[in-house]
Every structure is written in C-alpha cells, then in structure tokens.
Amino acid sequence: MDKVDIRSFTYEKLCGLMADMGEKRYRADQVFEWLHKRKETSFDNMTNLPKKLRDEICAAYDIYTVSPVKILSSGLDGTRKYLHMLKDGNVIETVLLRYDYGNSVCISSQVGCRMGCRFCASTIDGLERNLTAGEMAGQIYSVEADINERVGHVVVMGSGEPLDNYDSFTDFIDIITDGRGAGIGGRNITVSTCGIAPNIRRLADRGYAITLALSLHAADDDLRRQIMPIANSYSLKEVTDACRYYFDTTGRRITLEYSLIEGVNDRMEDISGLIRIAKELGGHVNLIPVNPIDERDYRSTGAKAVSAIKNKLEKNRINVTIRREMGRDIQGACGQLRRGFIRENVSGETDA
C-alpha cells in the first residue's frame, strides 16, 4: 500500500492538502464532494477538476477500493450481508439492516481484532490490520450503490475494535457527518466498544452526538477478565467511570450490551450486578443471546430465561431490549462469513 487513501482525508485535512499543492480552497470542496457526496471512485470522472490536478492527485493518492465479492440476502427481512474485498485482498464483513425508520449499515473497523473476547469469531486469528477511514466510509457507499438507496444510520459494531483504531475512527466520523458529504446525523450513529477507557474519555471530549454502546457482558471484574481480556487492562470501575463521563459530557445515554451465555453470565448475581451498573449509568440495556461459534462451546441462554431476565430488568425500571435477530436465514455470528470465505479460498477447506 504505497499510495495514500485520499478518501480518508477529513475536509480539514483535504484543505491542507490542496494548500500544499498550491490549489485554492474550493478545490478541496470539489474533491470532498466527489468522494463523499457523489461517492465517485475514479479520479477520471471528476470532470470539474483540471486534468493537471487530477494527474497530480493520481500520482500520490489512491481511493482504496471496497468491493463486494459475496452478498447474502435474507428472504425474511431484507437484511443483506456483504463480504467486501479490500485493495490488498483482505476481506471484511458489512451488514445492511432494514428498519421502518430507514437503512442502517453495520460496518467493520479493523481486519480481524486483537481484543480476544472469548465468544467472538472476529478475534480468533488476531488483528490483521486497521481499516482506513476511507475503507470504513467505503463500506457504506458500497451498500448504497448496491441497493440504490441512501443509508441514514450507521452502527460501528462489525469486526474490530473502533477505539483501538482511534484516529481513523474519528476521521471517519468527521467525514460521514460532514454536510458537504454524506451528512449522516451524529444521532444516527452508534459505536460499540469493549471498553478502552481512556479513548472513551477522548471521544467524549470531541463533542459528537453519537451513541456509545459498551460491551459489558459481565458485572464483576473476575468474570469479565475471563471472557474479555481487555478487562485486565481496565477495571469495571475505570470503564463505567469513563462511560459516566461520556454521558455527562455529551448528554447521550449509554447503551450496555450484554451477550447472554448460559451458565456463565446469566446467573442471578450476574443480573443483579447488571441492574446495579445500568442504574448507576442511567443506561439502556441490550440483551443479546450469544450466537454460538464453531470454535467455542458457549451456548446461549434459553429464550424463556432471556425473557425472565428482561422482566427483572424492567421491574427495576431499566430500559431494556432483546436484540432482534435479523437475517436469521443468512446468519452466522459476526466474523463467521469472513472466516468461512478464508477457509474456502485460502486453505481449500469448505464449510460444513
């Protein structure tokens, strides 16, 4: 990857680049609009730029491609799962979810992940590399091109840990919320993190209106360390204090994600702990029956027990939802589509 990905430049950075090239500021507006409003992927088509400038840009910059190589479409609810190939041959997953309020895209933030959460398929082979801001935005634009409709909601909940790729992630937010480009409202964006406390605080200070979702999954440090290695670096107190700071600074309510694993984190004392933390933070709880992955023998809490947990939270006046399983017919836990593809194409094995 020698040339730099120009789609990763925020408007401010693009202004700096054009100034360095001896160009007027309005050229930055033009380039930004081509990349992020018209979602153009070829410099040749940017016809209002002089040929000389296009050639100069072309010599040093590139638009890193995000191309669908496999699309699975659900006959049940219109969910579409994309396997996207990147410029260097790596593949990542993106998911389109159709809601009554519009189209929502779930994007990946890294190729693989190094966080090591025990129940998650994305982390099994570790981190391959960070995505650029442009590759994050490119996933949204690719889906838009496929369905020929606008995407108004984004969740950064695919493979990878966005706050472990902090600078590219914040550039990505600057880019897609910019009214000169895609103009996606901050309130329509959710970012999910396993809890990198210092970066939660840094994010709070940026003044975005985006929703923060914390992958809690355990309400005491010992258990959390067993299922989420990141808990060895940041205690629950450090993480929940950072979330409190996020809420106090931004006024945005925190979402607590809690993936229910039978016999591991669904006992009475676990749920009491979850209630305590949700009350302290004034957070909304999203219960996710764990999606079993081939490589581990974790099982999901049964549907009846999940409902009982929901009722218990509601009795405590906590706002709670059970994550609706979408695209059931094309499902595989996060990261499994990619793993299957790599198995088939690289090692010659096929999925059972």
Question: Which of the ranges 7-15, 44-52, 191-199, 203-211 carries the binding residues for ligand SAH, by CB under 6 A?
Answer: 191-199
Q: Which two tokens stand for residue 57?
A: 């840009």
CB of 5 to ligand SAH, least distance (A): 22
Check if the beta carbon of residue 61 is closer than 8 Å to that of residue 21. Answer: no
Provide the greatest CA pair distance for the chain.
Answer: 68
In the residue annotation, 334 being an active-site residue is answered as yes
Site residues for ligand SAH, 19-78, by CB under 6 A, read: none
Query: Residues in contact with ligand SAH, total (CB under 6 A)?
Result: 17
CB of 88 to ligand SAH, least distance (A): 22
Quick check: 5 binds ligand SAH (CB under 6 A)?
Answer: no
Residue 176's nearest CA partner among 199, 153, 203, 146 is 153
Interacting residues of 99 by C-beta distance below 8 A, sequence separation 6+? 153
Quick check: 212 binds ligand SAH (CB under 6 A)?
Answer: no
Quick check: 333 binds ligand SAH (CB under 6 A)?
Answer: yes
Tokens 């979402």, residue located = 255
How buried is 109 (Cβ within 10 angstroms: 0-12 exposed, 13-18 middle, 19+ buried)? buried
**Nearer residue to ligand SAH within complex by CB, 23 or 270:** 270
Check if the beta carbon of residue 56 is closer than 8 Å to that of residue 62. Answer: no
Residue 156's nearest CA partner among 189, 184, 129, 205 is 189
Quick check: 157 binds ligand SAH (CB under 6 A)?
Answer: yes
Question: Which of the ranges 3-11, 12-20, 117-125, 310-318 carries the binding residues for ligand SAH, by CB under 6 A?
Answer: 117-125
Quick check: 161 binds ligand SAH (CB under 6 A)?
Answer: yes
Quick check: 165 binds ligand SAH (CB under 6 A)?
Answer: no
CB of 135 to ligand SAH, least distance (A): 16
Three-state secondary structure call for residue 130: strand
In the residue annotation, 295 being an active-site residue is answered as no
Sign of CA dihedral 171, 175, 178, 180: positive
Query: Which residues participate in catalysis according to the annotation?
Result: 93, 334
Residues of this chain that bind ligand SAH (CB under 6 A): 117, 119-120, 157, 161, 192-194, 215, 257, 259, 288, 290-291, 293, 333-334
